[in-house]
Structure 1
Amino acid sequence: MHGVEAFELVLGLLVLVIGLHWLALKLRWPPATALLVGGGALAFVPGLPAISLDPELALVLFLPPLLMDGAYYTALGRFRRHLPGILSLAVGAVVFTTLVVGVVVHWIIPELPWAACFALGAIVSPPDAVSARAVLKGVHLPRRLEALLEGESLLNDATGLILFRFAVAATLSGVFHTGEAVQSFAFVAIGGVIVGAAVAAGWVFLARRFGDRMLVMLITLLLCWAAYLAGEAVHVSGVIATVTAGLAMGWYQHVILSADVRLRANSAWQIMVFVLEALVFILIGFSLRGAIERVGGIGAIPTSWVQVIIAVVLTVTIARFVWIFASEAILEIARKAGLKRARPLGWRQATILGWAGMRGVVTLAVPLTLPVDMPGRDLMLISAFAVIFATVVAQGSSLGALIRKVRPVDTDPLAKMAMPAAEAAMARARMAVIEELAYAPDGTLIHPQMLEEHRKRMRFMERYEEDASAAMDNLRPHFDVLLQAIAAGRTELIRIHRAGLIEDEVLHELERDLDVEELTITFQRGD
């Protein structure tokens, strides 16, 4: 494909993303479902060029920023608190699913080597961070359940990739040592943490010393790829390195990045993540065409393969429920035995956790890296696509309805300080500084308006802390008036600019001030 044609194709895909995303909003579908189905349907339209997705490029292009995005916004306190449950899902459930899928596939096709069966299991076993984030947007979940799903989606790709590499090596060499595999797994995981922490430390060092905000934004945006590529370069888990760096950046950015850099970088980052996330699902759908053509078309798929594909889809779904509810039973037994830290989720949250097992970019890209002489390679490709479609379309589309039907209850204890109390504490700290600096050394009041303004704010915050709902109900009409005043100021600013009375530089400066003021009021209204 010519370079200009490739660029036109990318632009066409972006237009397609806009159309499908708008359609999903109108139909109230998860955007991932519309993008996946739309891409898959369009891939078979006659005359459209075939799109092949380089697997190594897919992993290095899409996975690091989307993992970093999840890690950056992860609540680190809840992540640490629920780490045993996260590891149970990210490691235990993935290993269990890999083994169960391998056994089922070997039972249906005995001639396929055991290691190849387990390789297929490793491909389809890890739920995907991209799919989970895309489907769970706008869905309200209990905090513990949200922490488990977010943490699992960040770490289980590493488990699946490591298991996959072991299984492929065992298939091609015919040799597998459990002890060596466990040691290698531990080395790759711990090494990923060390590399990620080192890369994050480098980011902290540079961000504190670069005076130019564009340079700080650039190294912040590139951190995900730096961590991933560094991990892969030293043969440890690039996934875990990226997640570690993302968690560290999310923790330190509050004290390292200026407000200006943080706002600008977040805006650029959100646009980039939206585009990459959407293109992932579009390209998954388009890639289905190549996989079907490689086996000679849908009609050429053997009956035994159809049985395997159906069995794999059912197995990955059932195995997840089995692991989760078995873990629930163990926690319940431990709780009754007097172990206070054992807190079962309950059947409501466990049901949602079991159904939220969407697969995505890793399950797509990994089988495309299989050697040509790998036994069962085409079967693995078709099975992987089937699992992605079944989980994203079926589970992703019905997850919101399931949550509304089951109505999970948030059983996590509340924090000691709610938002009204936190805002009141901040207001008291600001008031203390204003009261100190509003007077000159000789006791003369030099900032009377500022002092009165903060006293009014302090009195409001005290009422807000006592009854947040009533305070906001009284304040919203005030905010509405301010927003209308800002709109009038914006209209007048544009009028005098269009009349040629001010220069463009003045327009941009004053418009920026209005934007910041409007954004501040919008945040205060809680919109």
Structure 2
Amino acid sequence: MHAVETVLLVLLLGALTGIVARYMRAIPLPLIQIALGALIAWPQAGLHIAFDPELFLLLFIPPLLFADGWRIPKREFFALAKPILRLALGLVLFTVLGLGYLIHWMIPEIPLTVAFALAAVVSPTDAVAVSAITRNLGMPEKTMTILEGESLLNDASGLVALKFAVVTTLTGLFSWTEVAKEFTWMAVGGLGVGALIGWGFSYARGSITRRLGDVAATQMVLLLVLLPFAAYIVGEKIGVSGILAAVAAGIATNFADLERSSYISERMQTAGTWSMVEASFNGAIFLLLGLQLPSIIGVPLHRAGHDWWILVAYVAAISFGLLLLRWIWLTLGVHGSLQRAHSQGKLAERPSHLLNLATTLAGIRGAVTLAGALSVPMLLNNGQPFPARDMLVFLATGTILFTLLTGSIGLPIILRYLPPHEESPTLREERQAREQACMAAMSRLTLGEEELQQRDPAWIAMRQEVNGHLAQEYRNRIQMLDDGSGAALSLEAQREAPEVVRQRKLRYVMEIETRIECIHAERDFYYAERQAHRINDESLRSLVSELDMQEIAMRKRLVVARRATGLPGGDTAGRH
């Protein structure tokens, strides 16, 4: 099948499975997509796609990790930096050493260096898989932040470990000093390159939009979508982690967005575009994984002398060992820092053995693991086949499926027994921010001395009437945008004297303009709260999105009202 046809088919199936998943809520969407991909590829005449790991990492991983880095709550991410780094760095090293020796002891035909390579492949959790499985299961918010932060950062440590395990297999040489230097260069360099590219793009975007406003919103969104690819390619070209570069670019861009509160069109287009990109690319990743299953599973069964049940037992043993090592590290290496974070108010949920178990099962492997396994070279330097490569790919793929299944089945059961919280910190912060934003909007309704002196009495009386009406709405905490707000003209009003009708129309225009001013006051307050770290990024996006939609509707009303009243701006108002 032609490459273009393949891409279109994969995207089509991804959309269709997303619809099917709405009717099969008991089964996670990734499992449906993997099963469908395997079903399509299983027959001899089925769809077979050559999997290029480098192309896969370039096309699918950067935008998804960029989106996760852009979306993750930065306040919680930096507040929980210690447990995140212990999982992203310490747990990977602990897993590579512990699981590597276990694999070599259990399957002696796999050399120790290849066993370390397999352990490195399965050591990093996958940000896409973790989000897809755990996001809607009721995982505590701060624990979810830790899991997302871990999966964003541990790809670099896992891929560095894989690289040196493969190099040691090829050359027989190994140096801890070289490992430390390489990892430092890849991690720090990747984060630095990504942050630099993100800030550079944000500075250029700010310079352009300060002159053009939201006129160039579509072009800015297109450039933003291309930004993670640029960060990844530049990072890989100079020898640092392209994955971390994409993550850092997303984080840097999010920080710059805090200064762009007034660009409504760009913000709404960005949100819609990234939702589509994430949905389509997530589906494509899991479908491609399923499409590889028949060929991956079939090779060891034909080439190795093992029965199928022995291979399944190997997968189960490696997966259980992987989860056991994760649980041990969480209990001994991370539990203490989580306890301190809880006592300092950074972690709402109290660490417990049940929460550790849930966090253990949430360590799901995904597309990065498959890409890493398939990136292992076919031949050694002397032309001989790479030892046990087929077995390595098979076991890595089996581990992906095992962790997906255990996470999908076990997490809902465990989370059901976690003690519920009366109100999550995020919801409490949102509620308080809404109340304070109403107060900020009400303060905007007060007329200043300059306006009282410059305006005529009729305008002041009309404005005070409007202000009183709106202030009452805020006091009652009624939604900003209502159906008619009591200002629409009735049939009786249309029979009144022309001057009375005109005054009603002018009052209506004034009320809409005042409402827009109040919306600006609320939005400015929310951005100030985020910059002061009193709400997080997720709350900011939710609250500002509501105001953006209200302002767009109000500006459309304003165009119609000005046109009906004969005031200037009836054709241009609303182009923000």
Same fold (TM over 0.5): yes
The corresponding residue for 1:356 is: 362
2:147 is aligned with what amino acid?
Answer: L
Query: 1:235 aligned to 236, 239, 248, which one?
Result: 239
CA offsets per residue over residues 342-397 of structure 1, 9 Å max, x none? Answer: 99622232221111011111011111111112222111110111011111123124
Query: 1:105 aligned to 103, 106, 109, which one?
Result: 103
Matching of residues 510-521 of structure 1 within 5 Å: 519-520=549-550
CA-based RMSD:
3.6
Query: 1:419 aligned to 430, 435, 440, which one?
Result: 430
Tell whether the 8 Å contact from 2:21 to 2:29 is kept in structure 1 after alignment. Answer: yes
Matching of residues 165-204 of structure 1 within 5 Å: 165-204=163-202
Tell whether the 8 Å contact from 1:328 to 1:346 is kept in structure 2 after alignment. Answer: no
Looking at structure 2, the residues matched to 330 and 209 of structure 1 have their Cα atoms a distance apart, in angstroms, of: 46
From the superposition, tell whether residues 290 and 205 of structure 1 become closer, same or farther in structure 2 (CA, over 3 Å). same
CA offsets per residue over residues 122-169 of structure 1, 9 Å max, x none? Answer: 001111000011112323332321211111111111111111111111
Deviation at 1:95, TM superposition (A): 1.6
Query: 1:251 aligned to 250, 255, 272, which one?
Result: 255
The corresponding residue for 2:67 is: 69
2:199 is aligned with what amino acid?
Answer: A
Higher mean Cα deviation, 447-456 or 376-385? Answer: 447-456
Q: Residue 454 of structure 2: SS of its match in structure 1?
A: coil
CA offsets per residue over residues 400-445 of structure 1, 9 Å max, x none? Answer: 3321233465999x58983343233333434444434793642436
Deviation at 1:250, TM superposition (A): 1.5
1:102 is aligned with what amino acid?
Answer: G
The corresponding residue for 1:59 is: 57
Deviation at 1:271, TM superposition (A): 0.5
Tell whether the 8 Å contact from 2:40 to 2:47 is kept in structure 1 after alignment. Answer: no
From the superposition, tell whether residues 115 and 418 of structure 1 become closer, same or farther in structure 2 (CA, over 3 Å). same
From the superposition, tell whether residues 411 and 458 of structure 1 become closer, same or farther in structure 2 (CA, over 3 Å). closer
Looking at structure 2, the residues matched to 217 and 187 of structure 1 have their Cα atoms a distance apart, in angstroms, of: 31
From the superposition, tell whether residues 200 and 50 of structure 1 become closer, same or farther in structure 2 (CA, over 3 Å). same
From the superposition, tell whether residues 421 and 449 of structure 1 become closer, same or farther in structure 2 (CA, over 3 Å). farther
Looking at structure 2, the residues matched to 308 and 161 of structure 1 have their Cα atoms a distance apart, in angstroms, of: 23
Tell whether the 8 Å contact from 1:142 to 1:409 is kept in structure 2 after alignment. Answer: no
The corresponding residue for 1:491 is: none
From the superposition, tell whether residues 516 and 141 of structure 1 become closer, same or farther in structure 2 (CA, over 3 Å). closer
Looking at structure 2, the residues matched to 425 and 81 of structure 1 have their Cα atoms a distance apart, in angstroms, of: 25
Looking at structure 2, the residues matched to 197 and 317 of structure 1 have their Cα atoms a distance apart, in angstroms, of: 33
Query: 1:208 aligned to 206, 209, 220, which one?
Result: 206
Looking at structure 2, the residues matched to 117 and 202 of structure 1 have their Cα atoms a distance apart, in angstroms, of: 42
Query: 1:435 aligned to 417, 434, 446, which one?
Result: 446
Mark the runs of 5 or more structure 1 residues left unpaired by the alignment. 465-471, 487-514
The corresponding residue for 1:380 is: 392
Looking at structure 1, the residues matched to 79 and 408 of structure 2 have their Cα atoms a distance apart, in angstroms, of: 27
2:286 is aligned with what amino acid?
Answer: F
The corresponding residue for 2:558 is: none
Matched, 1:287 2:295: no
Tell whether the 8 Å contact from 1:104 to 1:311 is kept in structure 2 after alignment. Answer: no
From the superposition, tell whether residues 329 and 155 of structure 1 become closer, same or farther in structure 2 (CA, over 3 Å). closer
Tell whether the 8 Å contact from 1:101 to 1:118 is kept in structure 2 after alignment. Answer: yes
Q: Residue 351 of structure 2: SS of its match in structure 1?
A: coil
Mark the runs of 5 or more structure 2 residues left unpaired by the alignment. 380-385, 489-544, 554-576
The corresponding residue for 1:22 is: 19
Matched, 1:135 2:141: no
Higher mean Cα deviation, 14-23 or 127-136? Answer: 14-23
Looking at structure 1, the residues matched to 296 and 56 of structure 2 have their Cα atoms a distance apart, in angstroms, of: 16
Higher mean Cα deviation, 31-40 or 448-457? Answer: 448-457
2:244 is aligned with what amino acid?
Answer: I
Looking at structure 2, the residues matched to 447 and 61 of structure 1 have their Cα atoms a distance apart, in angstroms, of: 59
From the superposition, tell whether residues 440 and 279 of structure 1 become closer, same or farther in structure 2 (CA, over 3 Å). same
1:269 is aligned with what amino acid?
Answer: W
CA offsets per residue over residues 187-223 of structure 1, 9 Å max, x none? Answer: 2111112111110121112111223222211221111
Q: Residue 45 of structure 1: SS of its match in structure 2?
A: coil
Query: 1:89 aligned to 87, 90, 114, which one?
Result: 87
Query: 2:150 aligned to 149, 152, 155, which one?
Result: 152
Looking at structure 2, the residues matched to 159 and 411 of structure 1 have their Cα atoms a distance apart, in angstroms, of: 36
Tell whether the 8 Å contact from 1:142 to 1:408 is kept in structure 2 after alignment. Answer: no
Looking at structure 1, the residues matched to 23 and 402 of structure 2 have their Cα atoms a distance apart, in angstroms, of: 22
Deviation at 1:24, TM superposition (A): 2.2
Alignment coverage as a number of residue pairs: 478
Deviation at 1:46, TM superposition (A): 4.2
Looking at structure 1, the residues matched to 339 and 435 of structure 2 have their Cα atoms a distance apart, in angstroms, of: 43
Looking at structure 1, the residues matched to 110 and 32 of structure 2 have their Cα atoms a distance apart, in angstroms, of: 35
Deviation at 1:171, TM superposition (A): 1.2
Looking at structure 2, the residues matched to 92 and 104 of structure 1 have their Cα atoms a distance apart, in angstroms, of: 18
From the superposition, tell whether residues 62 and 455 of structure 1 become closer, same or farther in structure 2 (CA, over 3 Å). farther
From the superposition, tell whether residues 143 and 517 of structure 1 become closer, same or farther in structure 2 (CA, over 3 Å). closer
Looking at structure 2, the residues matched to 41 and 277 of structure 1 have their Cα atoms a distance apart, in angstroms, of: 18
Matched, 1:13 2:17: no
CA offsets per residue over residues 318-338 of structure 1, 9 Å max, x none? Answer: 211111122356459989xx9
Higher mean Cα deviation, 285-294 or 7-16? Answer: 7-16
Tell whether the 8 Å contact from 2:38 to 2:290 is kept in structure 1 after alignment. Answer: yes
Deviation at 1:227, TM superposition (A): 1.4
Q: Residue 50 of structure 2: SS of its match in structure 1?
A: coil
Tell whether the 8 Å contact from 1:127 to 1:156 is kept in structure 2 after alignment. Answer: yes
Looking at structure 2, the residues matched to 68 and 202 of structure 1 have their Cα atoms a distance apart, in angstroms, of: 16
Looking at structure 2, the residues matched to 15 and 45 of structure 1 have their Cα atoms a distance apart, in angstroms, of: 21
Deviation at 1:55, TM superposition (A): 0.7
Matching of residues 239-318 of structure 1 within 5 Å: 239-256=243-260, 258-295=263-300, 297=302, 301=306, 305-318=311-324
1:366 is aligned with what amino acid?
Answer: G
1:270 is aligned with what amino acid?
Answer: S
Tell whether the 8 Å contact from 2:62 to 2:229 is kept in structure 1 after alignment. Answer: yes
Higher mean Cα deviation, 232-241 or 13-22? Answer: 13-22
Matched, 1:390 2:402: yes
Looking at structure 2, the residues matched to 186 and 348 of structure 1 have their Cα atoms a distance apart, in angstroms, of: 35
Looking at structure 2, the residues matched to 13 and 180 of structure 1 have their Cα atoms a distance apart, in angstroms, of: 41
% identical equivalent positions: 28
Looking at structure 2, the residues matched to 434 and 249 of structure 1 have their Cα atoms a distance apart, in angstroms, of: 34
Deviation at 1:516, TM superposition (A): 9.6
The corresponding residue for 1:223 is: 227
Looking at structure 2, the residues matched to 276 and 447 of structure 1 have their Cα atoms a distance apart, in angstroms, of: 56
Higher mean Cα deviation, 182-191 or 44-53? Answer: 44-53
CA offsets per residue over residues 38-83 of structure 1, 9 Å max, x none? Answer: 2223321342231222111111111111111111111101000000
CA offsets per residue over residues 457-485 of structure 1, 9 Å max, x none? Answer: 44444454xxxxxxx6xx69x96x679xx
1:194 is aligned with what amino acid?
Answer: G
From the superposition, tell whether residues 482 and 233 of structure 1 become closer, same or farther in structure 2 (CA, over 3 Å). farther
Which has the higher Rg, Structure 1 or Structure 2? 2
Tell whether the 8 Å contact from 2:186 to 2:239 is kept in structure 1 after alignment. Answer: yes
TM-score, with normalisation over the residues of structure 1? 0.81
